Structure 1
Amino acid sequence: MSLERQVRSKIAGKRDTDADKQAQEWIEAVLGEKFPAGVPYEDVLRDGVILCRLMNTLQPGIIKKFNSTGAQFKMMENINIFQNAAKKYGVNDLDVFQTVDLWEKKDIGQVTTTIFALGRTVSFIVNSKYLMLKCLINLSSITSLYFTLFNY
């Protein structure tokens, strides 16, 4: 067996199809639409269009323009656009897959890891905003109480 086959076999052995399914379901929930029936997860993501739409759903306008059709290099460009947007959104560089991981299907597990990292970042941002809002409400209540007590 060639070295490349051994590496591919090892990577395929590390792939967690349950995690892929969870990542797919999360993307579908965020976008509000199902992936095409019968099309493998990695094939749906491969042109980068869904990934770019995902980022624009999470933060409208984070991606100004992406390619919905075109040559292979345009589709690979979409993947790169997604990667840059994910980093800008707050995903750690180390958690972002390499373009070949998806385009050449070399490590779909790493693509899934990136989707999970994006989900954690979304959760952190939402929780931070919630805590900030809660603090503002508490501050507002304290200020209101202060003005009531001291007749301001």
Structure 2
Amino acid sequence: MSYRAVKAGLARDTQIKIDSQFDIDEAKKCLYWIGEITGENIEIQDLDDRREMSYSFHGIMKDGILLCKLIDALLPDGKKIDFTKKTFQETNNQAFKMARERERIGIFLMKAQEYGVPDTNLFQTDYLYERTNLVQVCTCIRALGIEAQSRPGYQGPEIWPKKSEHNVRTFSEEQLKAGQQVIGLQYGSNKGASQAGMSFGKARMILD
């Protein structure tokens, strides 16, 4: 069994900051959505402590099985995951077990990227496996949910914000030329301006 050295100094401060941003409700929402999409009976503990909930979330997600079942349920025929491979088989060898768990997470990330999740919303394998950034893991699942909801035929629960849609507008050449004649308000206006009533300085005195 491998052990990870305890972080110290700046690395420790950074980890504490990341852990403090872990959203309990968002994690529960992710687990609920995964359960609805995969049909798996996920036991979501009713925890209010951030640390305890992060450990619970990590324990459920760490082996990558649920993640692979999630993305597989969303993928169209022809792009499904082959769950008969050794990657998804149980083993008593600890080294093989760890390697397969990491590989499953990698498969999910690759498939999620192909599905349409932006690179900025993906996470590194160690973020989940080593529990170093579960915030980003939730961000990725959320992004996947938003993408899934925008697809035709989606039958899961609508719990994520709707994906923004492009609103492309086209203008005629006449409209574009007319726009060039308009002076923006940030440049001010001289409409109705005059020097009436304006005086500067003291009036000049002329003495004989």
TM-score, shorter chain, exceeding 0.5: yes
- Separation in 2 of the partners of 1:82 and 1:14? 24
* 2:64 alignment counterpart: 48
- Separation in 2 of the partners of 1:122 and 1:37? 22
- Separation in 2 of the partners of 1:64 and 1:93? 24
Q: Which has the larger radius of gyration?
A: 2
- Separation in 2 of the partners of 1:10 and 1:126? 39
* 2:80 alignment counterpart: 62
Displacement of 1:63 after TM fit? 1.9
- Separation in 1 of the partners of 2:29 and 2:9? 33
**1:25-75, CA deviations, whole angstroms, 9 ceiling, x for partnerless residues?**
110111122224658122111110110011111125432244242420111
CA RMSD across the alignment: 2.1
Given that 1:69 and 1:75 are in contact with CA atoms closer than 8 Å, whether structure 2 keeps it comes out as no
- Separation in 1 of the partners of 2:58 and 2:152? 28
* 2:117 alignment counterpart: 91
- Separation in 2 of the partners of 1:114 and 1:36? 21
Call closer, same or farther: CA 1:115–1:68 in 2, change over 3 Å.
Answer: farther
5+ long unaligned stretches in structure 1: 129-152
- Separation in 1 of the partners of 2:114 and 2:80? 8
* 1:148 alignment counterpart: none
Q: Taking structure 2 as the reference length, what is the TM-score of the superposition?
A: 0.57
- Separation in 2 of the partners of 1:49 and 1:6? 31
What is the number of equivalent residue pairs in this alignment? 128
Query: What is the identity percentage for the equivalent residue pairs of Structure 1 and Structure 2?
Result: 30
Given that 2:32 and 2:44 are in contact with CA atoms closer than 8 Å, whether structure 1 keeps it comes out as no
- Separation in 1 of the partners of 2:44 and 2:120? 32
- Separation in 2 of the partners of 1:126 and 1:98? 29
| Paired letter, 1:20 | A
Counterpart check, 1:111 vs 2:130: no
* 2:20 alignment counterpart: 13
**Going by fraction, where is helix more abundant, 1 or 2?**
1
5+ long unaligned stretches in structure 2: 1-7, 46-54, 92-96, 155-208
Call closer, same or farther: CA 1:37–1:26 in 2, change over 3 Å.
Answer: closer
* 2:173 alignment counterpart: none
